[in-house]
Amino acid sequence: MLVIRPIAEGDYEALHSCAVESGHGFTSLPVDETLLRSRIQRAQEAFAKSSVVEPGEEGYLFVMEDTQNGDIVGVSGIEAAVGLSSAFYHYHLGRVVHHSPKHNIYNALQTLTLCNDYTGVSELCTLFLREPYRKNRNGRVLSKFRLLFMAQFQERFAKQVIAEMRGVSDEAGRSPFWAWLERHFFTMDFPSADYLTGVGEKTFIAELMPRFPIYVNMLDKAAQEVVGKVHGNTLPALKLLQSEGFRYRGYVDIFDAGPTVEAEVSQLRSVRNSRLLRVQVGQPEVSETMLICNTQVANFRACQADVTCCGDHVILTQAQADALKVSEDEQVRLVSL
């Protein structure tokens, strides 16, 4: 069985392997021992907080574990509130009009403006599933369980949530958008800039990024074509978030111009449709595949399971109840997959 739980100190090697396998453009999971160990410690501190009245600097990091062999097969995270202690940058895609009635000329031009508009919102981040396990709806589970966690512990998160989608880059990590910025404003390749951001060194952005809006039509053709576009491997993740209610509002990543999507937490499909039911241990007769989590923080567990829902109860097998660390008559939160 694949079970999602809070990351532990002993998961470092597996997290490092995920960072290596994720490749270029995965800013939130750089191959850096100090940073990865820091993320584990920060996550453990977040899960250890017994009472939170508003979102702060907490970063929740989870792993998906194969309980048969103990292997860590994926990782997924939530930032409670971004940009509180260090600037959180985006480009906003806007529009300006150059109009001369006298000469009958009207030009509506797109611009990219550096901004910090998402400061304080929550963020879904660090989603990575290893290749052999990209089947049986495992990727869907690894993404969507975070919405159940947010539904159960709403006080820990902002009312708005975003997700940054990886933009277009080639196998060597070269981004057409960054290539244009590098040529005109930086002397640094995309993987290096992406890595520096991942390890928290962001001052170079404010120092070197253009301070005025960029006219999109001034970019070379290759850069123009990738603004707001996702990496091919990221398209399924984007479609999944869109099915939950996430929408693109014109904000893109400052390095690869990948889209950032946003939503109101309370309006997400899995949040609205999730239910709290009490556990009844037995043998499900008419089963339905559900995404289920317990209602604990430090001992959080989530998984997909075939169960039977009867009124205000859900029938779980003993193995399912054990995996979720719940007993008879305790509550679980669940939603249909």
Active centre residues (catalytic): 231
- CA atoms of 216 and 94, how far apart (whole Å): 10
- What is the number of alpha carbons within 13 Å of residue 151 lying toward its C-beta? 23
For residue 325, what are its two tokens? Answer: 């660390």
Contact 264, 295 (CB under 8 A): no
N-to-C CA span, the chain: 16
- CA atoms of 20 and 196, how far apart (whole Å): 16
Number of H helices, E strands in the chain: 10, 15
Contact 15, 75 (CB under 8 A): yes
Q: State which H helix or E strand residue 187 sits in.
A: none
Tell me the DSSP string of 103-166.
Answer: GTEEEEEEEEEEE-TTTT-EEEEEEEE-GGG--TTHHHHHHHHHHHHHHHTGGGS-SEEEEEPP
SS3 label, residue 77: strand
Residue 186 backbone phi and psi in degrees, to 5 = -125, 160
Tell which residue, 155, 12, 149, 135, has the closest CA to residue 75. 12
- CA atoms of 269 and 333, how far apart (whole Å): 14
- CA atoms of 180 and 190, how far apart (whole Å): 11
Q: State which H helix or E strand residue 182 sits in.
A: helix 176-185
SS3 label, residue 124: strand
Q: b/e map of 211-237 (b: 16 or more CB within 10 Å)?
A: eebbebeebeeebbebbbbbbeebeeb
